[in-house]
Amino acid sequence: MSIKVEISDETVHLKQGVSGRTGKQYSIREQEAWGYFLSADGRPHPHPMLIRLSLEDDQAPYPKGAYVLAPESFYPDRWGQVSCRAKLRPVAATPAAARAA
């Protein structure tokens, strides 16, 4: 099963500040997207959910379009728990969609 993600806006939101713990400046770049997830009972959620994707410092925003969450998005964190830092792969256009464009 793949998790579908749709980008409808290429705006990058920037959060900046100074860490209270380390005193160092930080900046977080994010892009909004729509995620199509399953509900707790395993059925498709009836509506897409607004999510925020973290972008690397030098990463261009994802262009508008349809994507899936790439397998390399998931990794074990420092406590051995499964974590996710979303990496998107474009969904290949179907031949019918390509002809219609």
Rounded distance between C-alpha atoms, residue 50 and residue 35, angstroms: 6
Which pLDDT tens digit goes with each residue over 23-81? 999 999 999 999 999 988 989 999 999 999 999 999 999 999 999 999 999 999 999 99
Domain-wise residue ranges, the chain = 4-100
Q: How many residues does the chain have?
A: 101
pTM for this prediction: 0.80
- Locus of tokens 């959060």: 15
CATH of domain 4-100: 2.40.50.140
Burial 48-59 (b: 16+ CB within 10 A, else e): eeeeebebeeee
For residue 61, give every residue at least 6 positions away whose Cβ sits within 8 Å of its Cβ, in sequence order, or none.
Answer: 7, 10, 11, 12, 31, 55
- Residue 87's pLDDT band, with cuts at 50, 70 and 90, is very high
Rounded distance between C-alpha atoms, residue 81 and residue 83, angstroms: 6
